[in-house]
Amino acid sequence: MIGILLISHSASIARGVKELIEQMAQGQVLIAATGGTLDGDLGTSTDLISQAIASLVGVDEVLVLVDMGSAIMSAEIALEMSGIPYLMSAAPLVEGALVAAIESTRPNATIIEISAAAERALETKGVAPVVEQPRTESPPVPPASTGVEMTLTIMNKIGLHMRPAKDFVTTACRFASVIRARNVARPERPVANAKSMIDIMKLGVGFGHQIHLRAEGDDALQALDALARLVANNFGEM
């Protein structure tokens, strides 16, 4: 099991980010957050970080996100003392934590894959990462002789915002088929991997937009049927 550790120089920021991503993870991911010093000032504390790590009971690895580089030294000291394997992510704290939490709910997702996705988080704002990180991708599934295609209309009021996008990606990940999506209303947007949170968010799907889906693989029809049901139900939103 992979846990997520959030470290900020501000206790309030750490708590706020944790609260935000817990709404997306819905109890499926263990998350700890800490910030500030033992005296309540701005800064970081190895002791407080150690306490946060101790709360991640049962995790095998920890993905760490920090707000500023000066938190890394304190984090590394506490993590080395804990003995738990960890990976320090270069992802932005807020956007990266959101993506990491969502990616962590995927079956068999590795800590390297989760970190790589989190480090692409700013792409959803149209901002390229400062340093291009190597991307770890799952081997492509051999496509069936013919693909299955479907066009769906998004009718929930604010389109594929974070929560429905997460449900869309989670549903797509249940199937082995390769699934691609494009926003018919915004043809300039790149074709998306339906199993990538970053790719789906970059489509910029709003109310009334149509998304065209193509699935290739043995369970292609079942995959598109499941996505169609999700859309028809407005992702459970009113």
Tell me the pLDDT tens digit for each residue of 25-69.
888 899 999 999 999 899 999 999 999 999 999 999 999 999 988
CA-CA distance, 212 to 173, in Å (whole number)? 17
Answer yes or no: do 185 and 223 share one domain: yes
Answer yes or no: do 32 and 116 share one domain: yes
Whether 143 maps to a domain, the answer reads: no
| pLDDT in the model for residue 136 | 45
CATH number of the domain that residue 165 is part of: 3.30.1340.10
Answer yes or no: do 8 and 105 share one domain: yes
End position of a domain, from candidates 125, 159, 190: 125
Answer yes or no: do 69 and 154 share one domain: no
CA-CA distance, 194 to 173, in Å (whole number)? 8
- 9 catalytic, yes or no? yes
Point out the catalytic residue in the list 9, 161, 209, 212: 9
- Residue 91's pLDDT band (cuts 50, 70, 90): very high
User: What average pLDDT does the structure give for the chain?
Assistant: 88
- Residue 106's pLDDT band (cuts 50, 70, 90): confident
Supply 143's token pair. Answer: 């496509």
77 contact partners, CB below 8 Å, separation of at least 6: 46
**For the segment 170-227, what is each residue's pLDDT rounded down to a tens digit?**
899 999 999 999 999 999 988 999 998 888 988 989 999 999 999 999 999 999 999 9
Supply 175's token pair. Answer: 């199937």
CATH number of the domain that residue 7 is part of: 3.40.50.510
Whether 221 maps to a domain, the answer reads: yes
Answer yes or no: do 152 and 224 share one domain: yes
DSSP E strands in 13-82: the ranges are 31-35, 61-66
179 in Cβ contact with 161 (< 8 Å): no
| pLDDT in the model for residue 123 | 83
CA-CA distance, 88 to 75, in Å (whole number)? 9
Listed as own residue / partner, the contacts of 51-55 with beta carbons closer than 8 Å and 24 or more positions apart are: 52/5, 52/7, 53/5, 53/78, 53/79, 53/82, 53/84, 54/82
Answer yes or no: do 8 and 86 share one domain: yes
Answer yes or no: do 121 and 152 share one domain: no
Amino acid letter for position 111: I
Q: 61-66 and 86-88: which strand pairing?
A: parallel
Whether 132 maps to a domain, the answer reads: no
Answer yes or no: do 116 and 40 share one domain: yes
* pLDDT for residue 145 is more than 60: no
Whether 137 maps to a domain, the answer reads: no
* pLDDT for residue 71 is more than 50: yes
Whether 165 maps to a domain, the answer reads: yes
End position of a domain, from candidates 63, 93, 125: 125
Beta bridge partners of residue 183, listed in sequence order: 211
* pLDDT for residue 135 is more than 70: no
What is the secondary structure of 98-109 as a DSSP string? HHHHHHHTSTT-
Q: What's the number of domains the chain is made of? A: 2
Q: What is the pTM of this model?
A: 0.71
CA-CA distance, 37 to 102, in Å (whole number)? 29
Whether 142 maps to a domain, the answer reads: no
Whether 10 maps to a domain, the answer reads: yes
177 vs 236 pLDDT, higher one: 177
Answer yes or no: do 6 and 60 share one domain: yes
Answer yes or no: do 231 and 188 share one domain: yes
Share of the chain above pLDDT 90, in %: 62
Whether 136 maps to a domain, the answer reads: no
Answer yes or no: do 61 and 9 share one domain: yes
DSSP E strands in the chain: the ranges are 2-8, 31-35, 61-66, 86-88, 148-153, 178-183, 192-193, 210-216
| pLDDT in the model for residue 14 | 95
Could you tell me the end-to-end alpha-carbon distance of the chain, in angstroms, rounded to an integer? 34
- Residue 238's pLDDT band (cuts 50, 70, 90): low
End position of a domain, from candidates 94, 125, 156: 125
**For the segment 149-174, what is each residue's pLDDT rounded down to a tens digit?**
999 999 988 888 878 888 899 899 99
Domain with 23 in it: 2-125
Share of the chain above pLDDT 70, in %: 90
- What 3-state class would DSSP assign to 157? coil
Answer yes or no: do 61 and 171 share one domain: no
